[in-house]
Amino acid sequence: MKTYVTRRLLILIPILIGVSIIVFLLIASIPGDAIDAKFGASRLPAEKIAEMKALLGLNQPVGVRYLNWLKNALHGNLGISTQYNLPVATVIHDFIWNSFLLAIVSFVLELLIAIPVGVLSATKIHSFFDNLFTVLAFAGISLPSFFLALLLQKGFAVDWKMLPMDGMHTVGVTLAGGAYLMDILSHMILPVICLTTISVGGAMRFVRTSMLDVINQDYIRTARSKGLPERIVIYRHALKNAAIPIITYIGNSLPGLFSGALITETVFAWPGIGKIFLESIAKRDYLFMMGYVMLVALLTMLGNLLADILYSVADPRIRLK
């Protein structure tokens, strides 16, 4: 196991370098830069604009800029964010945990709903229960997140005035202790409902499909013929063997826990990393964009590694070599 994990971690290095080259070239191909986005409409002399670009190294060839970024990144320096005038690592640290707070709560709710509903749908295939949740699942999958977010704001915040409309804190109010925590929780409710609603349908269908692949296997019929209770057959035998695809789904969800929900965070004005990344595109904050995308790439590969490790835990027949 240790040898396998070490080898996989070492393989990450050339993969990340390859990803960084592609991403850097794509970002560099975007028209304009941070100086153009900030001062393009001003009446500053062209010499002054050229001087500011030179200070940021934007006048250098793309290859030289990439090598400078790579050298600094290998020393833990991801550069300075032009929109915040702070180190990129600091900006990411300041906002990523806000996104994680939303994502982990919605992800746990998603699993708590999707797994039991998916199992019941598979065991009661083509029943009213199965058809009902199939329709609800496809409705949730098809519903645009921005539209659902606006509906939630209209109903719960504007019409019924039950919950805050946006933000993470109540503006102009100083709170502490339990009151501060409750204020954050009240602001979380609507975005969490939005994220859970649009994701739980796909997860439920995923669990249902995984269960249907094993529920009619010979060993399940054998377990039933031995007189085992249906609950034992389904949850101890069938669900355990259907866990491999579910583990894959969980592993692939790891980047989403930290990368933020761009649209949902923007609509609800939640100060998360996704909202900041969306703003960085408009402001041509290339170094922040680069740091964010590389973080997502790293988390994606670590999620795949975590899934591979969990495979051997869920099924002892799988050996990592």
Per DSSP, the residues of 212-228 read HHHHTSHHHHHHHHTT-
Place of tokens 């929780």: 185
Q: How far apart are CA 315 and CA 4, in angstroms?
A: 17
Q: How far apart are CA 24 and CA 62, in angstroms?
A: 9
Q: 11-41, pLDDT tens digit by residue? A: 999 999 999 999 999 998 888 888 888 877 6
Place of tokens 């500011």: 52
pLDDT of residue 271: 93
Task: From the options 3.40.50.2000, 3.40.30.10, 3.40.228.10, 1.10.3720.10, give the CATH code of 89-314.
Answer: 1.10.3720.10
Query: Sorting pLDDT into bands at 50, 70 and 90, what band is 318?
Result: low
Q: Which long-range contacts (CB under 8 A, 24 or more apart) does 262-266 make?
A: 263/145, 263/146, 263/149, 264/102, 264/145, 264/146, 264/149, 264/191, 264/194, 264/195, 265/99, 265/102, 265/191
> Mean per-residue pLDDT for 279-286?
90
Is the overall model pTM greater than 0.85, yes or no? yes
pLDDT of residue 321: 57
Query: Sorting pLDDT into bands at 50, 70 and 90, what band is 2?
Result: confident
> Mean per-residue pLDDT for 265-289?
92
Q: 160-216, pLDDT tens digit by residue? A: 999 999 999 888 788 888 899 999 999 999 999 999 999 999 999 999 999 998 888
State residue 253 phi and psi, 5-degree precision.
-85, -10
CB-based burial label for 143 (10 Å; 0-12, 13-18, 19+) = middle
pLDDT of residue 41: 65
In this predicted structure, which of 29-43, 232-246, 260-274 has the lowest mean pLDDT? 29-43
Place of tokens 């939630």: 152
Q: How far apart are CA 199 and CA 103, in angstroms?
A: 11
Contact 247, 311 (CB under 8 A): yes
> Mean per-residue pLDDT for 281-303?
92
Q: 60-112, pLDDT tens digit by residue? A: 999 999 999 999 999 989 999 998 999 999 999 999 999 999 999 999 999 99
Contact 284, 32 (CB under 8 A): yes
Q: Between 88-123 and 286-314, two packed helices, what is the crossing angle to 10 degrees? A: 40
Domain spans, the chain: 2-81, 89-314
* pLDDT above 90 for 244: no
Counting every residue written for the chain, the total comes to 321
- What percent of the chain has a predicted confidence (pLDDT) above 70? 97
pLDDT of residue 320: 58
Strongest mean pLDDT among 36-50, 120-134, 251-265: 120-134
Give the chain's mean pLDDT: 89
Non-local (6+) Cβ contacts of 39 within 8 A are 49, 52
* Alpha helices (H) in the chain, listed in sequence order: 2-28, 34-39, 46-55, 62-74, 88-123, 128-142, 145-152, 177-215, 218-225, 230-232, 239-241, 243-252, 254-259, 262-267, 273-282, 286-314
| Coil, strand or helix at 271 | coil
